[in-house]
Amino acid sequence: MRRRVFFIAAFLWMAVIFGLSARNDTSSMEDSSRVGRIAAELLVPGFRDMSPGEQQAILEAIDHPVRKTAHFFEYAVLGFLFSGGFLQPEHGRKAVRRQMLLAFLSGAVYAVSDELHQFFVPGRACMWQDVLLDSAGVLTGTLLCSAVLVCIFAGTEGRNS
């Protein structure tokens, strides 16, 4: 049952990623600008008291990091969900390694398809650097979920002995 829930969540998350990637450059920039404004309000002392020009300069300076961080985290979530779906710690260490690889490759292949999809969206681009960043996110999510599940499995195995 756990695996089914993770796979359903992964496919729903893939739909979210697809939807975000289908937005044109103007809509995408508006999204990242909103996120950037929230980040600036939380992290930059006195941001709200600054002039609109100063605020805009900060928002422009953080736009690229905001966008790339979003790429990383959306794919870390996907890696976590794929890992939860594929992993079966009870099958042993060797099987877990193969399952982790399968989770990672599934997310990385989706990252490639997502970038190819963006090639056909007005104002968007297909960038191999984003595939690498997305794949790093997938790897991080895969490792995190794998560690959590292996620890949980090890804890329940000890109680069942």
**What are the tens digits of pLDDT across the range 11-40?**
999 999 999 999 988 888 888 889 999 999
Q: What's the start-to-end Cα distance of the chain, in Å?
A: 23
HSE-CB at 121 with a 13 A cutoff on CA atoms is: 21
Nearest to 35 by CA among 80, 71, 81, 76: 71
- The confidence score (pLDDT) of residue 22 equals 94
The mean per-residue pLDDT over the stretch 142-148 comes to 93
Q: Which two tokens stand for residue 119?
A: 């090639």
- How far apart CA 157 and CA 148 sit, in angstroms, is 14
Contacts for 157 with CB less than 8 Å, ≥ 6 apart: 90
**Per-residue model confidence as pLDDT tens digits over 44-57:** 999 999 999 999 99
> Domain segments of the chain: what residues?
2-22+68-160
pTM, 2 dp = 0.87
d(CA 95, CA 88): 8
